[in-house]
Amino acid sequence: MSSTPRGWKHALSRAPRVLGEALEGLLVTSARRSARTHGRRSALAQLGGLLLGGAVTTLPFDRAFGAPAPEDDETCTYWRYCALDGFLCTTAGGSKSTCPMGSEASQVSWVGTCHNPADKRDYLVSYYDCCGNTPFTGAKFCLGSKGERPPYTMGLNNDVNWCMANANKGYHCTVAIVVGTAG
């Protein structure tokens, strides 16, 4: 007895092809879905975003946008120096409130009113010159002139050597000491 073309032998011989086609269909559908959600462009964009994000957070970013930090007492923009006309003792062997070794504070001083951005208050700041010879050179010069008036109003001008009342009249640098709140 011969089997018909629709018999089990025929079905068996077709099985690998049918299975292969079904598998291919599944793969194609899955690949299309994947391409829709994770397309090449989308993947590249995500990768770029990751790389850029990493670079932005790790690069030395200037968050002050170029403005020197107001708390750096070796720069003229430090808040206490608003009316300091002279060399910074912080860059001449001293600190913002102490004269460098070998010099002494002036007998007289100039007082200014400066705004402290940290607590948003105004303070009276006394500027003493440090008088005498020290081994330190190359100090930073600042020209703070808040509240200053032209030299013909002598008492309101800070372009003065406050060492004039000291035995040693040689000017070295200026310190800025907070003496109280203003207002």
Q: Which are the catalytic amino acids?
A: 110, 129
What is the three-class DSSP state of 55?
helix
Among the listed residues 161, 168, 169, 182, the single contact to ligand ABN using CB under 6 A: 161
Both tokens assigned to 36: 């829709």
- Tell me: does residue 86 bind ligand ABN (CB under 6 A): yes
Considering only CA atoms, which of 32, 155, 144 is closest in space to residue 88?
A: 144
- Smaller CB separation from ligand ABN, 28 or 164: 164
- Tell me: does residue 174 bind ligand ABN (CB under 6 A): yes
- Tell me: does residue 171 bind ligand ABN (CB under 6 A): yes
Distance CA 132, CA 92 (A): 12
- Tell me: does residue 109 bind ligand ABN (CB under 6 A): no
Shortest distance (Å) from residue 84 CB to ligand ABN: 8
Binding mask 119-138 for ligand ABN (x = CB under 6 A): ----------x---------
What is the three-class DSSP state of 38?
coil
- Tell me: does residue 159 bind ligand ABN (CB under 6 A): yes
Among the listed residues 76, 111, 124, 160, the single contact to ligand ABN using CB under 6 A: 160
Give yes or no for a contact between 109 and 116, defined as CB atoms under 8 angstroms apart: no
- Smaller CB separation from ligand ABN, 21 or 159: 159
Judged by CB under 6 A, which stretch of 36-44, 73-81, 138-146, 153-161 contacts ligand ABN?
153-161
What is the three-class DSSP state of 79?
helix
Give yes or no for a contact between 177 and 129, defined as CB atoms under 8 angstroms apart: no
- Tell me: does residue 81 bind ligand ABN (CB under 6 A): no
Among the listed residues 85, 103, 112, 144, the single contact to ligand ABN using CB under 6 A: 85
The upper half-sphere exposure of residue 16, i.e. CA atoms within 13 Å in the direction of its Cβ, equals 2
Write the secondary structure of 134-168 as one string of H (helix), E (strand) and C (coil). Answer: CCCCCCCEEECCCCCCCCCCHHHCCCCCHHHHCCC
Interface residue list for ligand ABN (CB under 6 A): 85-86, 129, 159-162, 171, 174
